[in-house]
Chain A
Amino acid sequence: MAGSKGENDVEALRCVSFIVKNGEFVCLVGPTGCGKTTLLRIVAGLEQPTRGAVFLDGQLIGAPSPDRGMVFQEFALLPWRTVIGNIELGLEIQGVDKEARRKIAEYHVNLVGLHGFENKYPRELSGGMKQRAAIARSLASDPKVLLMDEPFGSLDAQTRNMMQEEVLGIWSKTKKTIIFVTHSVDEAVYLADRIVLLTARPASVREIFEVKLPRPRNRLHYEFVDIRAEVLTALSEEVRKENWERRSR
């Protein structure tokens, strides 16, 4: 992907350009409000850039499509459908017939560890389970890229760590390309192959960090701590700039 974008009345992104490789796990990190969610939404097709373009496999992207599945912080499950009903939704939309739908959906229910909960409604699930259902829903349509917008932001710390393991498990099984937006540097270092650090608004790419650590990663290991410190330092500078900006207005 490559592009530089602006937005409506607020310039959210100034000059953002980077490439994501097939099967990579990339995290987008940056100060609050820097535009990382906007960037993700542009890739999803939910917003249009005023300048610049995004390419997927050499094709210009346009409207939202199941090729670029998205998982939201608020889960966004349809509350009137069961877990399996939600997972089948994308397949229904694509016109897949009932039996095939059921099979694919059941496979994904198991993939995310929700076996036994197929017929529960979202209100009967915990936050972590809801997000797993949402992930299964996007994956069922076999996307080329999975976009995740602070998916664990609403979860408590323990569930969050558990879901990080879960996502890594799913990623290694499905080999999907994942672009993951997060506030948490710790989370980014734990999950990503590469971390794209954005500047304060209007955002540009400040730096791209390679995280070459083997998985499963150990948060206490000195290499982990080093990378985390590097990213955090750079991020703190950006956050400070954001605050100066705000105060001087």
Chain B
Amino acid sequence: MRAVTYRHLRILSILLAVVVWQIIGWLGAFPRHLLPWPTSVVSSLVNLSISGELASHILTSLLRVAVGFFVAAASAVPLGIAIGWSKVVESLAEPILEIIRPIPPIAWIPIAMLWFGLGFKPAVFLIFIGAFFPILINTVAGVRGTSKVLVEAVRTLGASDRDILVKVVTPSSIPSIVAGLRIGVGVGWMCLVAAEMAGASSGLGYMVIYYSGILETSSVMVGMLAIGAIGYAMSYAIARVERRLLRWRE
């Protein structure tokens, strides 16, 4: 008899969960608008995909994340390097940042809507706020963590401050920066969904709210699964990039 591997068990556990779920549904223990059958979820998925509605919501959300995230990265990385490198910049920037940082991005939703209205802009702003700080903090940590002996060794080659910054500090910080980007993307994605649930008329977050309002819970679940899947995919994509960039690591 062929041995049962752990991989078999993992696949089995998912199949089992779905089967149990379906059985509970057949038993009629819960009304179908509270706990849809797996089969309903699948059929909603199919419908939403065919009609292109799911794709459109996904793209809308992705676009918002992309813009918010890139603005966050483009501002947090240089600022982080400056803060890590220069005590002057650190003293000037840190107080303000330390006041803003503890404010959870979700608490920004009302002000975001006041400032930017509805739809695209406030969503992008919220993603920016969410992604900015993890990226910043990790970048600063990366700069500060640069090996001192490495800096000294390069100084004995006649390096100026600028040489050190460009040739030693920045490459040395990349692992931390990328880790920050990965975390930032995750936080930004969560903020996006919350933002869309609050004040948008498109996107995955909006979709979830809309369908729950008309009690089409199977579509709600499709939305939830899509949110999870995309969050995972983005994290995975950055992890792949990370691995390529860091081929030189022990």
Chain A residues in the interface with B (C-beta under 8 A): 44-46, 63-66, 68-70, 72, 74, 76, 78-81, 89-90, 92-94, 121-123, 134, 137-138, 141, 147
Is the pair A93, B157 in contact by a Cβ cutoff of 8 Å?
yes
Is the pair B248, A64 in contact by a Cβ cutoff of 8 Å?
no
Is the pair B156, A46 in contact by a Cβ cutoff of 8 Å?
yes
Question: Known contacts A121-B247, A122-B248: does B149 contact A72 (CB below 8 Å)?
Answer: yes
Is the pair B163, A93 in contact by a Cβ cutoff of 8 Å?
yes
27 A-B interface contacts by CB (under 8 A): A44-B156, A45-B155, A64-B152, A64-B156, A64-B158, A66-B156, A68-B156, A69-B156, A70-B153, A74-B149, A79-B248, A79-B250, A80-B171, A80-B174, A81-B248, A90-B157, A92-B167, A93-B157, A93-B160, A93-B167, A94-B158, A122-B248, A123-B249, A138-B156, A138-B157, A141-B157, A147-B156
Measured CB to CB, the closest approach of chain B to A61, in angstroms, equals 12
Is the pair A78, B157 in contact by a Cβ cutoff of 8 Å?
no
Measured CB to CB, the closest approach of chain B to A180, in angstroms, equals 15
Kindly state whether residue B71 has any CB partner on chain A within 8 Å. Answer: no
In Å, the complex CA distance between A65 and B156 comes to 5
Kindly state whether residue B97 has any CB partner on chain A within 8 Å. Answer: no
Contact count band on B: 20 to 34
Q: Which residues of B contact A46 (CB under 8 A)?
A: 152, 155-156
In Å, the complex CA distance between A67 and B157 comes to 8
In Å, the complex CA distance between A90 and B156 comes to 9
User: Which B residue's beta carbon lies closest to that of A79?
Assistant: B248
In Å, the complex CA distance between A45 and B152 comes to 10
Q: Which residues of A contact B93 (CB under 8 A)?
A: none
Contact with B250, one of A66, A81, A123 (Cβ below 8 angstroms): A123
Chain B residues in the interface with A (C-beta under 8 A): 147, 149-150, 152-160, 163, 167-168, 171-172, 174, 247-250
In Å, the complex CA distance between A45 and B153 comes to 11
Measured CB to CB, the closest approach of chain A to B160, in angstroms, equals 8
Question: Known contacts A76-B150, A123-B249: does B156 contact A70 (CB below 8 Å)?
Answer: yes
Question: Known contacts A121-B248, A123-B248, A123-B250: does B171 contact A64 (CB below 8 Å)?
Answer: no
Is the pair B154, A89 in contact by a Cβ cutoff of 8 Å?
yes
With A66-B157, A72-B153, A74-B149 given, name 11 new contacts (CB 8 A).
A45-B155, A46-B156, A64-B152, A65-B158, A70-B153, A76-B147, A80-B171, A93-B160, A123-B248, A138-B157, A147-B156
In Å, the complex CA distance between A76 and B149 comes to 6
Measured CB to CB, the closest approach of chain B to A179, in angstroms, equals 13
Q: Which residues of B contact A74 (CB under 8 A)?
A: 149
Is the pair B159, A93 in contact by a Cβ cutoff of 8 Å?
yes
User: Which B residue's beta carbon lies closest to that of A123?
Assistant: B250
Of B153, B156, B249, B250, the most chain A CB neighbours within 10 A belong to: B156
Q: Which residues of A contact B168 (CB under 8 A)?
A: 78
